[in-house]
Amino acid sequence: MSSSAGSAETPTPRRRPRWWWITAAVVLAIGAPAGVAGILEHRAWAKTVAAYDAEVARVTDEAERSRASAEDGYASGLDALNDAIDAGRRAYGDSKGQVADDEVRKPLASALDDAGHVRDTEVGYPVTTRTVDRVTRSNPFRRETLPEVDIEFVKGAVPAPADLDAAAADVTEARDAVTQARRKWAFGRLRSATTEGADALDSLRPQVGKESLKTLDDAVTEAEAALAAGTDALDPDRAVTLRHTLLDSTESLWAGRLARILTERRAAARADGIDCRTAKCVALTFDDGPVTDTRRLLRVLDREHAPATFFMAGDNVARQPDIARAVVDGGHLVANHSWDHPQLTKLDDVGVRDELLRTQAAITEATGFMPFLLRPPYGAVDDRVRTLATRVGLDVVLWTVDTDDWRTRDAARTRMRVRTEVRPGSIVLMHDIHPSSIDAVPGIVDDLRAAGYVLVTADLLVQ
Ligand code: NI
């Protein structure tokens, strides 16, 4: 048994494998889960890194877009503001002298000023920082940290697009007010120019070829349509242009008529042997009639075969149309001296036109002759009155010898005045409303003829 027991005491080679297994089992029991845990930890970390990278990329991308959108927003606001400023400046310039400065143009000027400041302010893009947090690997064997990342975000622009929009809106609002005021202004002016043009067409149609009237005719048609459409529909720029066309063509048609009349009458005078370029011509002119005594003057002039020029007041013509007619029948020239003798320079445009046109109508109705010369009462004339006269077909004629007959009321002194002051080409001012002036005429005619003068109507002497 002992031997068997002894032999049983040496099982060492068989016990070793048992410890190895145990060791292997232990190693396995510990190592396998550790290995698995290691793999899992590695994968989790890889995911964390990927998520971190993705977050950095996403935030970076968003930050870039925030800058781009801030820049775009500012740029488009700036474009709109520039457009508003350009349009506002044009409206401001165009409206000069056309609309009230204080109420209408000043607000636009100040809106433009403010808008200019906003535009010229250097743009800034304020930023904020967004942080991607740091991430630390928890694995004690593989310490690792992904750093914190700060990324700058653009928080809009300064000035903000809303500030640019507000400045542009202020300019546009002020500009609209100016435009509306210009419309009203242009409407009124177009209306009066249209009246002038239409009146000219009525007067000139019987005397002037259709072709010559075409520009004015078309302009009147367009202007009447524009006026019929009302103030709000009016394009003020077009209205300004159209008004110029109306007035310029009215003026040039009348000026053309005047030039033709003067040419024809001078040619006719030359055919009668009178050429004031070489002869000593003088024109006797009589203002303020016709009155009853004008008939006496006509008899004197007829006896002397002396032509004269009569600047008639329209209200006197309306009172004594027969005498006006007798003046024309006597071979004299009839001209316009306003309706009731005001100082034309003190009347507004409508008032001046009314004075001239009523007189034209009265004379034309009484005599069949449409005057083409105007002597403004008191010789009171300026560029405005001259232009208004031209646009109703009248050329302004003053005088070179003032007999002062209305003051002296003395035939002898009136005669003496002419004798001492007359020069070749003189236009002599007298008044047929004063009997003493009529009394002076025979002596004046004798003196002038004795001195070699030729008596003519005033149209042969106007420049
Ligand atoms: Ni007068």
**Which DSSP string corresponds to 145-204?**
EEPPEEEEEE---BS-HHHHHHHHHHHHHHHHHHHHHHHHHHHHHHHHHHHHHHHHHHHH
CB atoms inside a 10 Å sphere around CB 181: 18
CA of 381 to the centre of ligand 1 (A): 13
- Over residues 339-353, the mean pLDDT reads 97
Please name the helix (run of DSSP H) or strand (run of DSSP E) that holds residue 68, with its range, or none.
helix 12-94
The whole-number pLDDT of residue 441 equals 98
The verdict on residue 330 lying in a domain is yes
Name all contacts of 49-54 with Cβ < 8 Å and 24+ positions apart. Answer: 49/135, 49/146, 52/132, 52/135, 52/146
Q: Are residues 257 and 388 in the same domain?
A: no
Higher pLDDT, 413 or 103: 413
Domain boundary among 128, 158, 176: 176
Q: Are residues 432 and 374 in the same domain?
A: yes
Q: Quick one: which of 178, 124, 129 has its CA closest to 151?
A: 129
Domain boundary among 143, 176, 209: 176
Q: Kindly indicate the confidence band of residue 207, based on its pLDDT and cuts at 50, 70 and 90.
A: confident
Q: Are residues 407 and 288 in the same domain?
A: yes
Q: Are residues 158 and 234 in the same domain?
A: no
Q: Are residues 365 and 435 in the same domain?
A: yes
Q: Kindly indicate the confidence band of residue 14, based on its pLDDT and cuts at 50, 70 and 90.
A: low
- Over residues 151-171, the mean pLDDT reads 94
Q: Are residues 373 and 425 in the same domain?
A: yes
The verdict on residue 206 lying in a domain is yes
Higher pLDDT, 38 or 398: 398
Contact predicate 164/81, CB 8 Å: yes
Tally of structural domains, the chain:
3
CA of 440 to the centre of ligand 1 (A): 18
What range does the domain containing 216 cover?
182-263
Residue 15: pLDDT over 70: no
CA of 262 to the centre of ligand 1 (A): 24
Q: Tens digits of per-residue pLDDT, 235-248?
A: 999 999 999 999 99
Residues facing residue 309 across a β-bridge = 285, 333
Q: Kindly indicate the confidence band of residue 1, based on its pLDDT and cuts at 50, 70 and 90.
A: very low
Q: Are residues 47 and 167 in the same domain?
A: yes
The pTM of the full predicted model, rounded to 2 decimals, is 0.75
Q: Are residues 224 and 124 in the same domain?
A: no
Contact predicate 392/373, CB 8 Å: no
Q: Are residues 168 and 201 in the same domain?
A: no
Sequence letter at residue 111 = A
Q: Tens digits of per-residue pLDDT, 286-338?
A: 999 999 999 999 999 999 999 999 999 999 999 999 999 999 999 999 999 99
The verdict on residue 137 lying in a domain is yes
The verdict on residue 29 lying in a domain is no
CA of 8 to the centre of ligand 1 (A): 170
Residues facing residue 429 across a β-bridge = 285, 402
Return the active site residues.
287, 431
Q: Tens digits of per-residue pLDDT, 376-395?
A: 999 999 999 999 999 999 99
The whole-number pLDDT of residue 12 equals 62
Domain boundary among 118, 148, 176: 176
CA of 201 to the centre of ligand 1 (A): 30
Residue 6: pLDDT over 60: no
Q: Percent helix, strand and coil across the chain, each rounded to 5?
A: 65, 10, 25
Q: Are residues 283 and 414 in the same domain?
A: yes
Q: Kindly indicate the confidence band of residue 13, based on its pLDDT and cuts at 50, 70 and 90.
A: low
Q: Quick one: which of 249, 307, 246 has its CA closest to 458?
A: 307
The verdict on residue 147 lying in a domain is yes
The verdict on residue 10 lying in a domain is no
The verdict on residue 70 lying in a domain is yes
* CATH number for the domain that contains residue 425: 3.20.20.370
Residue 138: pLDDT over 80: yes
Q: Are residues 343 and 239 in the same domain?
A: no
3-state secondary structure of 58: helix
CA of 276 to the centre of ligand 1 (A): 26
Q: Are residues 355 and 436 in the same domain?
A: yes
